[in-house]
Chain A
């Protein structure tokens, strides 16, 4: 394949609120440009992780090269990056946007502008990208493209004269969209003769080939066999292979200005390559690196512990490899009396946490317990010292504390006017403070709140969706720390304090939450040989109590002729079931107990 001149290259992302149909549009583009033969076409082809297909969401950005012969008779090289829509993954979006010159902003013709439509559009504008609005799902009877155009123009100040109307489902309008990409998105403007500068915008670990980086060449040329250095880490290596994804990996001799592709480094230590680093020629280095990324700051912390304590090193190894692909994960070793050795792990949000836990379990074969997520509190001690509380166990003796502060969010909720009351009730229950609201259109209100992060992670999103029949959309960003009256609630099983079940809660809510949690645990903890008392306590004071009655009967009395193997297998199955639980003292505790606190409906 001849190297295209930059004039015929278009690098762009598809951005949208979750479920507005990005991945389907990407599928249609691959199909209509014959990048993927029809017989190989499957839904969400760029979402290669099992979790993505099962959940129908995009978690990782994916870059693919598409060749398009436009109406002007010329052939163009499109480098298309499909991005996640969920707020937890907005850092993935901003990383991908740094490798683009334009973005297709997909908006659902029935839902209109939603919270992450706004956020992602702002990210694209801040990155100086050309934005093409694409109104999707126009095949649906309830589609209202005119209203959506109005919302985009009024709410986002993006002109909609050139907006395209498409259906990812039927393929209508995809051709117009491809033409708009050729027409409206500028070609990359780098210098082919300047020293090499390429941005690493993603990377992953391949067991055979080591670290593979996804790069966009800004200046110069990146060749197989070239000696390159990483400007941030200082590491120098020889390039094993460069190539592009179509969507299968296709090796090339080189990548020129504006081209997006992969780079096989052969490096086996995942920690040596940083996303955001700049690749340059080792013998003729660039003077300045490209601007890196803003460091992402984890917001939600949880303890991750292997059920089998011998898996600790495997967990460390898995986190090292996974964080390569997902630099938003941070982790430090943590010890729990109940659960042994593990890692305090920071995530961007709850979905991010669930996805990472699931990936660790599936891709690395680990069985993990995650403790209830917590946020990072700050305790100002009477002596003036500041202590960061990432885990409930770090909470100092209340006597020594002057005040505790907790992280607050600026929360944006977009909702039809009928549900404003429901959102008010719910958010006030979650200690939210109302700031203001604006009408984006007669059917779409944007409400602004200030709210503790700890409340948002307590089932707020699920409740918001259920109380507004799925109409509300949510976005948030960190706004700062504010004081709060916070206490640590401890859970005791059979009289023994279980550190991994402790959590920090506002004093006014402690009683109710303790009570509900005890009831919840009573349902979750199976009956055992002995009665198990479940208690919730603040300081030494017990505020709630439940009892799991002792098991009375557990015996397979039935005779299967002489088929003793069958009886043995049953015993082994029971033992396996117990392995999935954690023996804490004399009590077998199922994994879901540690997350029960999250699902406490008061």
Chain B
């Protein structure tokens, strides 16, 4: 028996223990919190600690109080165009930002991948370096740059492009939000792109040229298609968190910059309505997860 244990059972268990790690991780840090939020989204507010009912103490409790759960909060989200607009506005801002990030990030990643090997690590460091300063401080710094009496205005005034009384009014606008987002998320776009482009075999471009393809065209028929995995990874890495972005629009945006992160904040902190804010979060998750799952299935088929 002991032999059978060491020969068959032990390696089998070891293998499954290893496979189980990512599942356990997802279960613990994604599924469990999600189920808690889902449960709260089906509850109702109350003046209590915690501020909602029903509170489930045990599994038996769960069945007993099942009838207390309600979809009212989801129905409520459909009744006020605020939520619908906030979702749409967030998706729009995320989409525009992601496109801007791709436009800005691609040449950077491309330049890095084409740089001499000895320089590349230094360039990667340069991309990562800003992370060593607090994100919040970096976004605050943009206030100093963008505000009407900030660095941009000063620079343009001293260059004579702006008159002494003219100012740049970017701060507190959506433009400032885009600037802040592009700046903050750039490494998340550049690094996957760089990884994809760096892997790209330069002889493929020579082969294309050899077969009569001019460089600009070979970028579109060879380089870009082969960097698509990096493009997709970078876009997902940026798009998903941008949809839920709260800090950047709060600091740089004007009060009219409507995003779901701010709406969620208001529900949770101003209204203290945990159930509705949970419902907002669940809907946000569905909006983000469903397209990704569809996309991944498509990828598998392709």
**A and B bind:** no
Which residues does B use to contact A, with CB under 8 Å? none
Q: What residues of chain A have their CB less than 8 Å away from a CB belonging to chain B?
A: none
